Amino acid sequence: MDFIKIRNTLTMHGLKITPQRTAILEAFDEMRDHPSADIIIEYIRQHHPNIATGTVYNTLETFVDKGIIQKVKTENGVMRYDFITEKHHHLYDDSNIIKDYFDEELNEILQDYFKNKTIPGFEIEDIKLQIKGKFNNV
């Protein structure tokens, strides 16, 4: 991700451009595979050793709050992060691989189903599927 795209992402979400935020967005661009906070911290330590671990955690939470990234919880309870914020679902494998799955027809089916369905005491904000299986040539 080039600096112009990083700058635009941060300013579009009302955030100041800082070396820490820039470094974490660069990390997402390098990894592209739903990294955990620990993996992001490891990357930051290697490439930007002056950035504190607490700063990484705080920045990740700020990015989630601002809608720059999303949290993705795995079946074994590990929190991972997704830089793709447009509507999609996730494919899960036992080896902890998560892949994005885009399917507009599936989105419409789910929206239509829940548009006419009420769940007592619950208001649906978003629908995301987690599809578990095995990848064949990963």
Q: What confidence score (pLDDT) does residue 32 get?
A: 74
pLDDT, averaged per 10 consecutive residues of the chain (138 residues), comes to: 86 95 92 89 94 96 95 83 91 86 95 88 90 83
Q: Is 62 left (phi over 0), alpha (psi -120 to 50) or beta?
A: alpha
Q: How many CA atoms lie within 13 A of 3 on its CB side?
A: 4
Biggest alpha carbon–alpha carbon distance for the chain? 52
Q: What confidence score (pLDDT) does residue 57 get?
A: 96
Q: What confidence score (pLDDT) does residue 1 get?
A: 67
Q: Rounded to whole angstroms, how far apart are CA atoms 50 and 53?
A: 10
Q: What confidence score (pLDDT) does residue 65 get?
A: 96
Q: Rounded to whole angstroms, how far apart are CA atoms 81 and 90?
A: 12
Residue 17 sits at φ, ψ, to 5 deg, of -85, 115
